Chains A and B, each alone.
Chain A
Amino acid sequence: MAETGVRVGLFVTCLVDLFRPSVGFAAVKLLEEAGCSVEAPFAQTCCGQPSYNSGDRQSATRIAEKVIETFADYDYVVVPSGSCAGMIRRHYPGLFAEDAEMRARAEALAAKTYELTSFLVGVRGFTRVKARWRKRVTYHDGCSGLRELGVRDEPRTLLASVEGLALSELSGAETCCGFGGSFAVKYPDISDKMVADKVADIAASGAEAVLCGDLGCLLNIAGKLCRLGRAVEARHVAEVLAGMAEELPPIGAPG
């Protein structure tokens, strides 16, 4: 492993931790290939987004304080999720409007926090991976990564370097899949319509696999693909970039 001066704290995210740790290890592998030394501090849990988006600002603030403290000493914080990275980058500072010192710390963390692919391409200049995967894939842009962080070209740049992989763009790639955290559970009928439309677009793309940078969207999309009995695989983009897609079953497939 290349031990360099760049220390990255990996913010694993609660969904990756619980559902698909492989995504976390894929991120570690890519970051190390990009010359970083990676740590995943045990004191992390969740970014606080469930509380924040449900109106429990107080809990969100306390969780944010904890994240700020946990990751204060790293050069960068990298997150394999546009949504959780967006929470830290775009929303943490606003939680401390009344507290100048904490706000400054939140801003410092926000400034060094990146979604995985945008960190690799934008910060590390790492654009060529060593993976190969013979598949026709399509890509769904998670809403937070796309609109809060402006992540769009980076995953495509990296995917273009995967040997054997062909990307066909998804019609409506920028339309929400209907996940939205608790929205999917609170308004299942609406969420269902949205994810059904998404799955129809995926099918129309002719791809064998749909990739995305957010596990939340992927659980939703994979869940609908499974329910409808579609053969399209759903995977986190990091798995493919790290060359793990061959041996790792897709999301929602028997282990």
Chain B
Amino acid sequence: MLLNSRDFPANAREGLGNPTLQKALSMARTGFPEKRARAIERLPEFESLREKARAIKEATLANLDFYLETYENKVLAAGGKVHWARSASEAREAVLAICRSVGAKTVTKGKSMVAEEVGLNPFLEENGITPIETDLGEYIIQLRREPPSHIIAPAIHLVKEEVAQSFREAHRELPPQRPLSEARQLCDEARAVLRPRFLAADAGITGANFLVAETGSSLIVTNEGNGDLTQLLPRVHIVMASIEKLVPTLEDAATLLRLLARSATGQEFSAYTTLSTGPRREGDEDGPEAYHVVLLDNGRSALLGGEFEDILRCIRCAACLNHCPVYTAVGGHAYGTVYPGPMGAVLSPALFGLEECAHLPNASTFCGRCEAVCPMQIPLPKMMRGWREREFTQKKAPAVARAALRLWAFFALRPGLYHPFARIVARALFAAGARRGRFRSLLFHSGWTAVRDLPAPEGRTFHHLWAKRRKGA
């Protein structure tokens, strides 16, 4: 779902000025990277697994049509159904139709970024179906009517006092004297409230970390067990997944799984990795009676074979978010799309349009940490630059910036003009700023001097001095 990416600078300012958000982010900024680093140190093969994982995903994408068809056949053979959706609206309609076919009134949901992408919850509500998020973080933000701010830790922008307040407002039966000051108490409260809802739901919707072509299985990776209860207890299990989630075999999934949890939370392995293949079998005492998969394209097939294809390797571990100095400064909501951070800066323009999301690929220093930690070796800075190039060639970049760049290039290509001009600028800036050594404000540099001084130059250019030295020599 696209929210307000156009307002990124204002959103960012708001995030920077929000002290509780900053407190929450300061915990994430060190926590995730330290845990990841420790996990990777324990697996000497991490780098070679990255290479292998990349090769697996590249080979899968190159034959995605084959793997999708193979997967579909396997799902059908296991007694499941596959629904293909070109767009967000087709995906929403497919889910609604399944829910209506079984008269579902309430649906539990495991965390699904694809469901967020297509805006499933508001749509179900409009159509008289109550979606209940069951991942603790998702549940909290659903109560607060907020979008997720992180792709694996949706409530990372909140501190526990805010969670407590949301629970007190929403949970009518909660005695006011019950303490909710610790994470433990908040967890227990959510567990107690959600347990009957798991048991009563008519349908359960989960995402999928991978779809396995070999077996027709969907695979989810969770820690709470909510995804498993969601798909186990109701009569119907609906999997929402985008087409690039395919992997050929269980062995290929294993390679990706060895990277996923370590990159995401720094765990050796998540608590629950679950393969689901079709509905309950004859003789089974539990499990859903029907199993549906909604396969979403939503612009992804258009990325294949092009300069943004690499983003389809993404396994949504969020390491790029956790290591991004911009993300950890402004928080996920500033991005105004369900996919924030570096992976979102590449994916969101593809899904929601460059014009809407133009800020996102621009809001990067190209520090390269995202690419360095990406388990799938996705060249995120390169692709952000690719969006900037499209913006520039399609003349969507601001006219002043374009003109300034062209002027710079004009001089840079003409040393005979450039060097004398540089000499004048160096002298002028020196004359104006030498006494203090720096400028507190400077015409045309308000973006710079709003927050820091500009050191004054030494007064002569290197090339001027070099020429004099050579003459003197």
Contact = CB atoms under 8 A, between A and B. Distances in A.
Nearest to B409: A59
A223 B393 contact: no
Given A45-B418, A54-B405, A59-B406, 12 more contacts: A19-B458, A45-B411, A56-B405, A57-B393, A62-B409, A183-B364, A184-B448, A185-B448, A187-B363, A189-B9, A189-B451, A222-B455
Nearest to B447: A185
B420 to A, nearest CB: 11
Interface stretch (A107-115, A155-163, A171-179, A204-212): A171-179
A147 interface: yes
A180 B365 contact: yes
Interface of B: 9, 12-13, 16, 325-326, 329-330, 362-369, 371-372, 385, 387-393, 397, 401-402, 405-406, 408-409, 411-413, 415, 418-419, 422, 425-426, 430, 434-438, 440, 445, 447-448, 450-467
B119 to A, nearest CB: 28
Given A57-B389, A176-B369, A227-B453, A184 B447 contact: yes
B454 A56 contact: no
B455 to A, nearest CB: 4
A19 B368 contact: no
A48 interface: yes
A195 B450 CA distance: 13
Given A186-B362, A190-B12, A226 B458 contact: no
B441 to A, nearest CB: 11
A54 B425 contact: no
A21 B460 contact: yes
A37 to B, nearest CB: 12
Contacts of B453: 222-224, 226-227, 252
B426 A190 contact: no
B366 A42 contact: no
Interface of A: 12, 14, 16-22, 24-25, 40, 42-46, 48, 50-57, 59-60, 62-63, 66, 143-144, 147-148, 174-176, 178-195, 197, 219-220, 222-224, 226-227, 249, 251-255
A226 B377 CA distance: 39
Contacts of A17: 422, 461-463
Contact of A254 (B12, B385, B437, B467): B437
A229 B144 CA distance: 42
Given A45-B418, A59-B405, A188-B447, A18 B456 contact: no
A139 to B, nearest CB: 16
Shortest 3 CB-CB contacts between residues of A and residues of B:
A180-B365, A55-B392, A55-B388
Nearest to A13: B462
Contacts of A186: 362-363, 447
